[in-house]
Amino acid sequence: MKHDFLHLDLSLYTYKIDNGMMVYVIPDSKVNNIYATFSTKYGSKQNTFIPNGKKKMVSVPDGIAHFLEHKLFEQPDGKDPFSIFSEHGADANANTSQFKTTYLFSGVDYFKENLNFLLDYVQTPYFTDANVEKEKGIIEQEIKMYHDEPSWRLLEQVIFNMFHTDPIRIPIAGTVDSIKSITKEDLYLCYNTFYHPANMFVVVTGNVNPDEVYQIVKENQAKKEYDSKFSLKVKNYDEEKTVAKEKETIKMNVNIPKVGIGFKLDIKKLQKYNRRDIINYLNLFFDIKSSQTSSLVQSLKEDDIITDSIDTYLVDADDYIVFYFEASTKKPTEFIERLKQEIWNGNVSEEDFNRKKKVYLSNYVTATDNIFMMNSLVMNNIISYGNVDTKIYDCIKSYSYEELKEVITNITFENTSEVIIMPKNSNN
């Protein structure tokens, strides 16, 4: 099925394979490159679930989705997927988030061979007691490496402190203790549950023929057998409105203190709006408040509280959305108070709103010229909203200042958690 992106010279083609797998293609003849991703709707958050065909909930060790990502690169015939892709002139990688795991490649030549190989190696699990034990040491070193990186540690700690029970609080890679308990049986259980084709999708962007992409995937999947019935239930968590821990100070090897602060936003009162619009309005609001051109950032620089920009990050967690801010500052207390006050007052001018809306529209149009960004847009829309909105341009254009004020009025910004990383030799 073809869906045209309004006001853009792009179209989205969607196909459904007999086994339930979805294929999304955005062809672009103006570029030479091709970018292909193969994703499962399975990330670190889904650690308690009813496996396909079963009746009882089971729990698995934290970090198992990320562990699976690592292990699928080990094939029973000993082939190294990275080497295979490299021989075919393609770059390959994989990544795991709280909600999905993605395997990918980009390259111009040998597209059919590369796409077939992508599907084949991801759909050929090979776990043994020996190779699972070997991987534990590798992932343990990765966890320790990220734990020693100040910005990464800051983000993980803030998210952990924001939530009481939701497993989104657990680091994506798990902990050193949790991965030690992972077995090959755990991996096969999770793989057979979440890597069913009906829970997976392919996205291809670039210089391709959509029907040819579909035929490659269709023929590849026809050679494989899967249970025709697929059902999955993941545990829901009754997460509290408050944060689990409001303040924490950590000492690390940094020269200047680093601050991370998260706002836990309850969006239950905004049921008249769809989730996509809520997130877009919140992005507009926080961008107005904390972008490089904002009055807050300008005043913080003038008062020598920060010397650089404020980094931001959004975490979408069911009934809650977390907006995270990070900055390096010699005056962490002053920074936190100024930021909180700026967010809490909730005031934005109509002039700032209209200006930012134009920037958003411009950024969206610019993104459509980038096959990597468009691929990511499709993936994120599928994971977050279950569909791809090809009317995004008109949607953003229709946003109003009055609706922004209504969204902000119906959200409480009081629930915050802050973490400060201080230099090890400081007295604080």
pLDDT tens readout for residues 381-408: 999 999 999 999 999 999 999 999 999 9
Decide: 389 and 218 in contact? Cβ < 8 Å.
Answer: no
Count helices and strands (H / E) in the chain.
15, 15
pLDDT tens readout for residues 252-311: 999 999 999 999 999 888 888 889 999 999 999 999 999 998 999 999 999 999 988 899
Tell me what the mean pLDDT of segment 112-139 comes to: 96
Question: Does 293 lie in the same domain as 216?
Answer: no
Query: What is the structure's pLDDT at 166?
Result: 94
Say if 121 falls within a structural domain. Answer: yes
CATH of the domain at 253: 3.30.830.10
Question: Does 207 lie in the same domain as 126?
Answer: yes
Question: Does 364 lie in the same domain as 261?
Answer: yes
Backbone angles phi, psi at 313, to 5 degrees: -155, 140
Tell me what the mean pLDDT of segment 405-425 comes to: 94
Question: Does 299 lie in the same domain as 198?
Answer: no
Distances (CA, A) of 399 to 185, 280, 281, 356, 368: 49, 9, 8, 11, 20
Say if 102 falls within a structural domain. Answer: yes
Decide: 264 and 162 in contact? Cβ < 8 Å.
Answer: yes
Decide: 119 and 220 in contact? Cβ < 8 Å.
Answer: yes
Q: How far is 44 from 58, CA to CA, in rounded Å?
A: 15
Three-class SS of residue 309?
A: coil
Domain range enclosing 290 = 247-423
| pLDDT > 90: percent of the chain | 89
* Residue that finishes a domain, picked among 199, 234, 269: 234
| pLDDT > 70: percent of the chain | 100
Query: What is the structure's pLDDT at 318?
Result: 80
pLDDT tens readout for residues 184-237: 999 999 999 999 999 999 999 999 999 999 999 999 999 999 888 888 899 999
Per the annotation, the verdict on 69 as an active-site residue is yes
Distances (CA, A) of 247 to 161, 259, 262, 300: 8, 11, 11, 22
Say if 169 falls within a structural domain. Answer: yes
Question: Does 207 lie in the same domain as 346?
Answer: no
**Among 74, 313, 284, 107, CA closest to 206:** 107
pLDDT confidence bin for 424, thresholds 50/70/90: confident
* Residue that finishes a domain, picked among 167, 202, 234: 234
Say if 379 falls within a structural domain. Answer: yes
pTM of the model: 0.94
pLDDT surpassing 90 at residue 357: yes
Question: Does 334 lie in the same domain as 276?
Answer: yes
Query: What is the structure's pLDDT at 425?
Result: 81
Q: How far is 201 from 366, CA to CA, in rounded Å?
A: 25
Say if 239 falls within a structural domain. Answer: no
Question: Does 253 lie in the same domain as 327?
Answer: yes
**Among 407, 404, 247, 406, CA closest to 321:** 407
Q: How far is 417 from 157, CA to CA, in rounded Å?
A: 10
Question: Does 193 lie in the same domain as 293?
Answer: no
Question: Does 256 lie in the same domain as 396?
Answer: yes
Question: Does 364 lie in the same domain as 290?
Answer: yes
Question: Does 251 lie in the same domain as 226?
Answer: no
pLDDT confidence bin for 426, thresholds 50/70/90: confident
Provide the token pair at 315.
């975490």
Tally of domains in the chain: 2
Q: How far is 313 from 27, CA to CA, in rounded Å?
A: 30
Say if 240 falls within a structural domain. Answer: no
Say if 174 falls within a structural domain. Answer: yes
Catalytic residue (one of 69, 156, 239, 418) = 69
* Residue that finishes a domain, picked among 234, 259, 293: 234
Say if 179 falls within a structural domain. Answer: yes
Query: What is the structure's pLDDT at 227?
Result: 83
pLDDT tens readout for residues 8-60: 889 999 999 999 999 999 999 999 999 999 999 999 999 999 987 788 999 99
- Residues β-bridged to residue 17: none
Query: What is the structure's pLDDT at 428?
Result: 64
pLDDT surpassing 80 at residue 427: no
Decide: 404 and 139 in contact? Cβ < 8 Å.
Answer: no
Question: Does 159 lie in the same domain as 264?
Answer: no
Decide: 81 and 123 in contact? Cβ < 8 Å.
Answer: no
